[in-house]
Amino acid sequence: MEYNFSNKVVLVTGASAGIGEATALLLAKMGARLSLVGRNEKNLKSVAERCKKDGASATLTIVADLGTDEGCEKTAKKTLEHFGRLDVLVNNAAIGAVDLIEKGDMAVFDKLFNVNLRSVYNLTRLLVPALIASKGNIVNVSSLAGTWVNKGAVSYSMAKAALDHFTRLIALELGPKGVRANTVSPGITISQFHQRMTGESDEQYQDFLTRTSKIIPLGEPCTSEDIGKMIVHIASDHSRMVTGTLVLVDGGLQFSSLGDVLTETLK
Ligand SMILES: NC(=O)c1ccc[n+]([C@@H]2O[C@H](COP(=O)([O-])OP(=O)(O)OC[C@H]3O[C@@H](n4cnc5c(N)ncnc54)[C@H](OP(=O)(O)O)[C@@H]3O)[C@@H](O)[C@H]2O)c1
């Protein structure tokens, strides 16, 4: 089974690092034309260069803060001006935050919902006409946090749960127009995400990965490429009858705490 994205225009948000970067590099090898969005211009340009070397038939870099209306409008406008069409929209960019309701901070809540949810609604709204024209599809990158109930990231988890439902709602609305929409939800995945959120050192992050690997049934965290591969599969024609669904890529982490609790009660 081969993946072919030649002549397809794919917009990847958060392409300057982690999962977005890995997804862009995979799509480049499949000949996609790529619109790459992020805030860090240097990283974005470096990813675009590697995409070109790997086979991308064209790359466009857009430096934009998707947490602003201007950033979303610029992204949609530049992509359509440059390529004249859009086949796949990968809404991947997001930030994390540690928060508990007892220490609730409205600034954190607003920032999380703005960058992780409002921007997705806004960018999708702006690009839906182009996706209807191409009979394209949308992949929203969510998180196990949106499905699971876990402590310490209330705003982030709520925003991801809302994103999951957004996928279902637009899948229903846009299906009759030939547009698919799906969610890929990573579990613990090696990228800059965790350290950006916690401020932990490299050593502390390695320790976090070692500790969490013990509760992941498959015994290790995901790589950004593991997630990218699922994004590519869902976005490809091989998934032509898949819409409104949520695919967890988490090494089985979703079952770990429930499994532990049940085992304890059976003792
Ligand atoms: N890593 C994990 O363990 C994990 C687990 C579950 C879900 N996820 C989800 O996976 C997705 C990708 O995360 P990652 O692990 O690849 O994180 P990452 O390494 O921190 O990368 C995040 C990307 O999003 C971009 N971004 C953040 N805020 C932005 C904004 N306001 N405007 C434009 N771009 C923005 C960043 O751009 P710049 O670097 O240029 O600022 C970067 O390219 C996110 O949706 C995250 O919630 C990750």
Note whether residue 155 is domain-resident. yes
Note whether residue 2 is domain-resident. no
The average pLDDT across 60-86 equals 98
Residue 225 exposure: Cα atoms within 13 Å on the Cβ side:
2
Domain housing 94: 9-266
Cα 260 to ligand 1 centroid, rounded to whole Å: 30
Q: How far apart are CA 32 and CA 87, in angstroms?
A: 10
- The pLDDT confidence band at residue 56, using thresholds 50, 70 and 90, is confident
Say which range, 81-90, 100-109, 211-220, 250-259, has the weakest mean pLDDT: 250-259
Asked if residues 96 and 17 have their Cβ atoms less than 8 Å apart, the reply is no
- Which pLDDT score, from 0 to 100, does residue 71 have? 98
Query: Quick check: 263 pLDDT over 80?
Result: no
Q: Which residues line ligand 1 (CB under 6 A)?
A: 13-14, 16-20, 38-40, 43, 65-67, 92-95, 115, 141, 143, 186, 188-189, 191-194, 196, 224
Note whether residue 4 is domain-resident. no
Cα 94 to ligand 1 centroid, rounded to whole Å: 4
The average pLDDT across 21-25 equals 98
Asked if residues 192 and 170 have their Cβ atoms less than 8 Å apart, the reply is no
Q: Is 211 exposed, middle or buried (0-12, 13-18, 19+ CB in 10 A)?
A: exposed
The average pLDDT across 200-227 equals 96
Note whether residue 1 is domain-resident. no
Note whether residue 79 is domain-resident. yes
Note whether residue 150 is domain-resident. yes
Note whether residue 130 is domain-resident. yes
Note whether residue 96 is domain-resident. yes
Q: How far apart are CA 13 and CA 203, in angstroms?
A: 29
Q: What percent of the chain has pLDDT over 70?
A: 96
Question: Which pLDDT tens digit goes with each residue over 67-79?
Answer: 999 999 999 999 9
Asked if residues 157 and 150 have their Cβ atoms less than 8 Å apart, the reply is yes
- The pLDDT confidence band at residue 265, using thresholds 50, 70 and 90, is low
Say which range, 58-72, 94-108, 202-216, 245-259, has the weakest mean pLDDT: 245-259
Task: Match 């499905």 to its residue by tokens.
Answer: 147
**Beta-carbon count within 10 A of 74 CB:** 17
The average pLDDT across 154-162 equals 98
Question: Which pLDDT tens digit goes with each residue over 101-154?
Answer: 999 999 999 999 999 999 999 999 999 999 999 999 999 999 999 999 989 999
Question: How many domains does the structure of the chain reveal?
Answer: 1
Q: How far apart are CA 59 and CA 45, in angstroms?
A: 10
Which residues share a beta bridge with 186? Answer: 249
Instruction: Kindly report the CATH number assigned to the domain that includes residue 251.
Output: 3.40.50.720
